[in-house]
Amino acid sequence: MTKLSLDRILQSQGFGTRNYCRELVAEGAVSIAGNVVTDYRNKIATDGLRFTLFDTEWIYREHLYIALNKPVDFECSRKPSHHPGVLSLLPEQFSWRDVQPVGRLDHDTTGLLLMSDDGAFIHAQSSPRRHVPKIYVATTHAPVTDILIAAMLGGVKLHDEPAQLRAVTCRKIDEYRLEIVLEQGKYHQVKRMLAAAGNHCTALQRTAIGALTLDALGLAVGAWCYLDAGQMALLRESAVAG
């Protein structure tokens, strides 16, 4: 069982520097099990730890694993340039924990985005060697045709790629929408593939990563949640299966 001093616990959870966290404790801002703790040197077991800071209860988490339903016009960057960053949709202290997006969605692409401060998890989910399938729903400018679907499945050539890129699966949803499953993560891949196949993408949403679906998470646009053990297992199985 791991035990840490309270100032280290607060710092590890992103609430500021060690000195600032000590000040919070000394001011009586932290309570555990309903009791105010004013000595930052107290060693506290982190397993299952719940603490209250500024009247908000927090659970100690060694790492953060988050799912976000990304809205349009947010950048997947810690240093956004033209639009707000996705970190602005999360509690401020997550930035102190070096939370970052797992891969990227374009600013105008919406849907499921994973975020974490666990480097091993980020690598496992984003490495092309793991072949984690990702499902997208694309809205097209021109009607979806059998020829378009055949091109997406058969492969299209992009000017900066040495080999043709193809969808794992591709199916028509309605006249102007299709569902595309990819295992690669190339720059603007869905949009460029559709353009190479003779159509144009007007809207794009990622609806699933591996077996984890946006529908199952039930997140409103712009909302986020911690991933539970079952959801994490779905992601790990998808990465291993690839």
Looking at the structure, do residues 123 and 230 belong to the same domain, yes or no?
Answer: yes
Kindly state the average pLDDT of the residues 46-56: 92
pLDDT band at 159 (very low <50, low <70, confident <90, very high): confident
Given a cut of 70, is residue 2 above it in pLDDT? yes
3-state percent breakdown (helix, strand, coil) of the chain, nearest 5: 30, 30, 40
Catalytic residue among 106, 108, 146, 228: 106
Looking at the structure, do residues 49 and 96 belong to the same domain, yes or no?
Answer: no
How far is Cα of residue 68 from the mean position of the Cα atoms in its chain?
6
**pLDDT per position as a tens digit, 184-234:** 777 788 999 999 999 999 999 999 999 999 999 999 999 999 999 999 999
Single-letter residue type at 203: A
**pLDDT per position as a tens digit, 72-89:** 999 987 777 888 899 999
Q: Is 106 a catalytic residue?
A: yes
CATH number assigned to the domain comprising residue 83: 3.30.70.580
**What single DSSP character describes residue 95?**
H
Kindly state the average pLDDT of the residues 124-149: 90
Most confident option among 51-55, 62-66, 102-106: 62-66
Given a cut of 90, is residue 158 above it in pLDDT? no
Strands 201-209 and 109-116: parallel
- Domain with 168, as residue range(s), is 133-209
**Mean per-residue pLDDT over the chain, rounded:** 91
Looking at the structure, do residues 104 and 120 belong to the same domain, yes or no?
Answer: yes
Looking at the structure, do residues 235 and 142 belong to the same domain, yes or no?
Answer: no
Strands 109-116 and 100-101: antiparallel
Looking at the structure, do residues 119 and 217 belong to the same domain, yes or no?
Answer: yes
Among 12, 207, 236, 223, smallest CA distance to 123 is for: 236
Looking at the structure, do residues 194 and 217 belong to the same domain, yes or no?
Answer: no
Could you give the residue ranges of the DSSP H alpha helices within the chain? 6-12, 18-26, 93-96, 119-126, 146-154, 189-196, 214-217, 229-241
pLDDT band at 181 (very low <50, low <70, confident <90, very high): very high
**pLDDT per position as a tens digit, 93-112:** 998 998 999 988 888 999 99
For residue 196, which phi and psi values (nearest 5 degrees)? -65, -25
pLDDT band at 162 (very low <50, low <70, confident <90, very high): confident
Could you give the percent of the chain with pLDDT greater than 70? 98
Considering only the C-alpha atoms of the chain, give the largest distance between any 2 of them, rounded to a whole number of Å. Answer: 70
CATH number assigned to the domain comprising residue 37: 3.10.290.10
What's the domain count of the chain? 3
Kindly state the average pLDDT of the residues 144-154: 95
Kindly report the CA angle at 205 between 170 and 187, in degrees rounded to 5? 80
pLDDT band at 240 (very low <50, low <70, confident <90, very high): low
Distance CA 166, CA 48 (A): 45
Looking at the structure, do residues 109 and 216 belong to the same domain, yes or no?
Answer: yes
Looking at the structure, do residues 141 and 205 belong to the same domain, yes or no?
Answer: yes
Distance CA 207, CA 216 (A): 10
Looking at the structure, do residues 205 and 150 belong to the same domain, yes or no?
Answer: yes
End residue of a domain, out of 14, 43, 59: 59
Q: What is the pLDDT of residue 163?
A: 82
CATH number assigned to the domain comprising residue 163: 3.30.70.1560
Looking at the structure, do residues 7 and 101 belong to the same domain, yes or no?
Answer: no
Sign of the dihedral through C-alpha 113, 223, 180, 78: negative
Looking at the structure, do residues 150 and 205 belong to the same domain, yes or no?
Answer: yes
pLDDT band at 173 (very low <50, low <70, confident <90, very high): very high
Which range has the worst mean pLDDT, 36-40, 48-52, 66-70, 163-167?
Answer: 163-167
Looking at the structure, do residues 50 and 163 belong to the same domain, yes or no?
Answer: no
Q: What is the pLDDT of residue 27?
A: 94
Which range has the worst mean pLDDT, 31-35, 74-78, 109-113, 169-173?
Answer: 74-78
